[in-house]
Chain A
Amino acid sequence: MKLLSMTIRDKVICLVMFVCVVVLLLAGCTLYGVIHYTFRSSMAQQMQTDAEVIANNCNVALVFENTDDVRSVLSSLHAKPPIVFAGVYNQSGDLFADYYNAAADQRVKPDTLKPQGSYFGQDWLTVYQPIILDGETIGTLVIRSDMMLLRSFTRTVLIATVIILVVALGLGYVLSARFQRIISSPVLRLAETANEISQSKDFSVRVQGRSGDELGQLIESLNRMLERIEQRDSKLLRANKCLTEEVEHRQETEQILRESEEKLKRSNQELQDFAYVASHDLREPLRKISAFGGLLTDSFEGKMDEDQQENLSFMIDGAQRMNDMIHALLTYSRVTTQGGEFRAVDLNEVVNDIREFELSVKIEETSTCINVPQPLYSVNGDQSQMRQLFQNLFANAIKYQKAGTIPEITIRSRIVDGKVRVEVQDNGIGMNPQQCKNAFIMFKRVHADKQYEGTGIGLAVCKKIVERHGGAIGVNSETDKGSTFWFILAAGQPASEQEAEEILVAVPATAK
């Protein structure tokens, strides 16, 4: 953890020093080992050579048991101060002649004889050399050397190693402290610049310095990045400015729109209020006209000529028609003003109710046949308006018939894109394409002749109801081939899972 929080400068120095120490220790140890081993083996080699020479030199003297001569041979070892003891032993292992270094005492004499070879001990190197004459071993020469030289040599090497280590470490520190800048200074500059940028948010700043290594690449790519950020920043600023302007513009437009919408709403409300009030208030005088017209007809029964009677009936009829129209208008305006809440509406029930209540008389009169081949899907809507919708469509289907034809109405429903499409097909007189286009426009009566009376509002009301439900309505028709009115409404919440399944299953069936 401590190492991680160090500065790059210290890390580089530490790294160099660490590598220095490891390498120097390794080199020192290896060198020491090699030198020590070489020194030892050369020392042993030297001793063995000496031993061979001496053994060869005193073999004859030994067999002639000439102690003086053997002694004089051994005393030549004076020339080698490290040799502390030399001894010639005869065949039976008794000491025949010996030599002691001036500084040595009796203790350096070995206790036992060993086979030929060099033996390194704690303090001495001992060489045992057989003395041979004419192929026969006639005794043993023992030479014992002090390891003082090896010890002092070892000490020298160790001291030298330590000195080299210290000097190299010092030099390593100085050099690494000097040269770490090569690595750390660009990094520091980089860090400084990055810090500056993050504080000042000024992306126009660039990192100085150029080198071919990874740091140089880093600096270069950082500069490129900064350039790109700067470009993007200016672009963003521009875009931001544009956006702000646009937002302001939009806000203004929105304000205007809101104002005009408000105006529109107010005028629409006024218009609706006016229509309602007007139609409501208009009916009062109309009722008087038709009522008093009726009274007039009754009181002048048989007293008017045919022409007068016809005029009066025209008047009453006109008043009646106007009343109907006003009623229709009221209905039309009520679609939005007096609409109920939306909920799941069972269309089968709606159709049955219309058959049994609203249009029961008309259906009976005309012997109309209403077919529902398959149960209808329920829709999400206003129950009473649904009744009105179907009532208008049925009424139209019954009304626009050739004389003598029995009206036949078929109602189907299917699911299209998760919505319910209902089709009401009749066998009436049909419409041409131009008529189809105008069918839903208020007061545009398709069949304006006397045969088919109407206010010209029924389909407009249908359209308004469907539109209020967020749906669509239309008609496919040809002259003399009947019409198929269709509308699409949101599906009603299925009462249960089972019903949902039924709907799903019904889809492919109806798709056929």
Chain B
Amino acid sequence: MNYVNRREFVIGILLCVIIAAGLVTAPAAAEESQTASREYKIKAAFVFNFLKAVDWPQEVMADANQPIVIGIVGDNPFADAFNPIKDKTVKDRGIDFIQFAGPSSLTSKQRNDLDNNLSIEGFRSCHLLFICSSERKYQRQILKYVNDHPVITVGESKNFVDDGGIFNFLPQTKKAGFEVNLAAGKRAKITISSKLLRIAKRIKEGQGDDSRGK
């Protein structure tokens, strides 16, 4: 064993000791800040699977080299949950992530003029827009901006579907369930696979409710 290798070996052992010590001494803090919870891991996987089970209108997908863009509005709860799918491909395209500031991070003055203080064009250029629960209060406004554009909106708050969102994760029970607003999807010219609809917990069609009861 030569000198360099021995040094690396020593460093490796030291690193291991430090990490082990950190894990033992402060597990709670590390979990909160660094790694995503199981719930968001599942949600990240669901988001990724939505991309597969949904079709955008032709004009959005015109350029084959353009990646699928996932926009996240508000305080990102996923942490590293998207790491497993970062390098995957969907419909032969790579995946890009864009973090947008939500209205909740704006000053009250700015909030009065959302049209000019939010990256509305950015929202509209996404294929999928995830609106975090931090923007629960402003989701109706945000959804209005992208209503008539081929953007899949995914949320995780109680009235998200009723406010005009397409997919909404239901509050965590045992497994992640979701509801779908078909009318919103139709308005956004998004085609949702019937297989996806089949496993949705609730489907909202038009103004009325049509619960699958699952």
- A: which residues have CB within 8 A of B? 57-61, 63-66, 68-69, 133-136
Contacts and interface: CB of A to CB of B under 8 A. Distances in A.
A133 B196 CA distance: 12
Interface in B152-178: 175
Interface centre among A60, A66, A133 (most CB of B within 10 A): A60
Interface stretch (B15-23, B45-53, B112-120): B45-53
B91 interface: yes
Contacts of A63: 45, 49, 52-53
Interface in B180-205: 193, 195-196, 198-199
B90 interface: yes
A60 B214 contact: no
Interface centre among B52, B91, B175, B193 (most CB of A within 10 A): B52
Nearest to A135: B92
A133 B199 contact: no
B195 A134 contact: no
A264 to B, nearest CB: 145
Interface centre among B195, B196, B214 (most CB of A within 10 A): B195
A64 B193 contact: no
Contacts, number: 36
B198 A134 contact: no
Given A68-B214, A133-B52, A60 B90 contact: no
Interface residues of B, number: 17
Contacts of B199: 60-61, 64, 66, 69
B53 to A, nearest CB: 5
A61 B175 contact: no
Contacts of A134: 52, 90-91
Contacts of B52: 60, 63, 133-134
Nearest to B46: A64
Contacts of A136: 88
Interface string B43-79: 0011001001100000000000000000000000000
Given A59-B195, A133-B52, A65 B90 contact: no
A59 B214 CA distance: 19
B193 A60 contact: yes
7 contacts: A58-B195, A59-B195, A60-B49, A60-B53, A65-B175, A133-B49, A134-B90
A57 B194 CA distance: 10
Given A63-B49, A134-B52, A134-B91, A57 B175 contact: no
A69 B177 CA distance: 13
Contacts of A57: 195
Given A60-B198, A63-B52, A69-B199, 5 more contacts: A60-B53, A69-B198, A133-B52, A135-B89, A135-B92
Contact of A61 (B45, B90, B91, B195): B195
A130 to B, nearest CB: 16
